């Protein structure tokens, strides 16, 4: 697959959640094209269907109408080529950091059936990732012995251990303090530049979106639609210093205005 063929393509995708006495129109006729290895961010007001987008792409929830195509195939169920991380690190408290990172390998094939025999090899893979996020030396610690930022680093490692082609992040740094959050931007950027997965990052933080992504999509209030697409042409690797530059600030401010317009203000 070349960089030109889209890795993820949404074609007039709508999503309506039906419950017994109400229906919520979460996404409306959304089109999106994401190339292989691209890092995109989706921003928008609360409840605009950003998280629904991730459920559609991962195959956890079917679209009500329209087509979702990932890696050349129409999505009809869980893809097994995606890694996910959320605001809540959801690590298992009875497993050490290392064992938490290894969890996906015990589930996804072909690793699951080879896991017992090749455990050493898989542990080496996990250690390499932990080192990349600065957690070497903490692999025998339990999640409850780690700080919030460290838990989130472990969660990112768990999302990447099976070398997924696609990384889906739902406000992964939303619960962290500002300093830790900005530190983890650097960590995530490094992970992405090393592994080059296609990333969809859902966030409320516009500076985060600009810092990390190649393209920022702005969604309108519910029902969610894509109302703008901004290319972030800043050179990589980006640093915290870059976030104080005028072009960075201007981009974040523009996004902010677009969100207000999308809310009908």
Indicate the residue among 145 and 261 with the shorter CB distance to other proteins. Answer: 145
Find the helix or strand (DSSP H, E) in which 205 lies: none
Give contact residues for other proteins (rule: CB under 8 A).
55, 58-60, 78-80, 82-86, 88, 90, 92-94, 103-104, 106-109, 142, 144-145, 158-159, 162, 168, 170
Minimal distance, residue 179 CB to other proteins, in Å:
21
Indicate the residue among 132 and 167 with the shorter CB distance to other proteins. Answer: 167
Q: Is 106 exposed, middle or buried (0-12, 13-18, 19+ CB in 10 A)?
A: middle
- Strands (E) in 210-250, as ranges, are 215-219, 226-231
CA proximity to 53, closest of 189, 218, 264: 218
Minimal distance, residue 130 CB to other proteins, in Å:
18
Minimal distance, residue 41 CB to other proteins, in Å:
20
How far apart CA 219 and CA 51 sit, in angstroms, is: 12
Instruction: Report the side by side order of strands in the sheet with 198-202.
Output: 82-86, 166-170, 198-202, 39-43, 215-219, 226-231
Indicate the residue among 169 and 255 with the shorter CB distance to other proteins. Answer: 169
How far apart CA 181 and CA 193 sit, in angstroms, is: 18
How far apart CA 93 and CA 27 sit, in angstroms, is: 35
Q: What angle do CA 52, 55, 56 make, to 5 degrees?
A: 90
How far apart CA 210 and CA 233 sit, in angstroms, is: 10
Minimal distance, residue 210 CB to other proteins, in Å:
26
Indicate the residue among 34 and 84 with the shorter CB distance to other proteins. Answer: 84
Indicate the residue among 92 and 178 with the shorter CB distance to other proteins. Answer: 92
Minimal distance, residue 141 CB to other proteins, in Å:
12
Minimal distance, residue 240 CB to other proteins, in Å:
29
Indicate the residue among 13 and 70 with the shorter CB distance to other proteins. Answer: 70
């Amino acid at each position: 697959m070349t960089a030109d063929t889209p890795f993820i393509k949404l074609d007039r995708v709508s999503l309506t959640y039906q419950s017994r006495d109400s229906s919520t129109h979460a996404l409306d006729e959304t089109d999106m094209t994401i190339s292989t290895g691209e890092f995109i961010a989706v921003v928008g007001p609360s409840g605009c269907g950003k998280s629904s987008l991730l459920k559609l792409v991962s195959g956890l929830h079917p679209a009500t109408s329209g087509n979702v195509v990932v890696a050349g195939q129409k999505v009809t169920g869980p893809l097994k080529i995606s890694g996910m991380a959320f605001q809540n690190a959801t690590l298992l408290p009875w497993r050490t950091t290392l064992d938490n990172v290894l969890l996906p390998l015990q589930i996804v094939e072909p690793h699951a059936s080879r896991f017992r025999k090749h455990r050493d090899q898989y542990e080496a893979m996990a250690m390499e990732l932990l080192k990349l996020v600065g957690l070497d030396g903490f692999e025998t610690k339990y999640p409850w012995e780690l700080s919030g930022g460290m838990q989130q680093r472990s969660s990112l490692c768990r999302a990447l251990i099976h070398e997924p082609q696609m990384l889906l992040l739902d406000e992964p740094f939303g619960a962290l303090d500002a300093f830790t959050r900005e530190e983890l931007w650097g960590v995530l950027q490094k992970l992405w530049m090393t592994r080059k997965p296609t990333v969809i990052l859902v966030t409320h933080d516009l500076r985060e979106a600009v810092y990390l992504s190649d393209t920022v999509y702005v969604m309108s209030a519910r029902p969610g639609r894509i109302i703008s697409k901004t290319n972030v042409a800043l050179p990589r690797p980006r640093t915290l210093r870059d976030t104080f530059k005028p072009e960075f600030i201007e981009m974040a401010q523009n996004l902010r205005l677009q969100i207000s317009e999308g809310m009908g203000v």
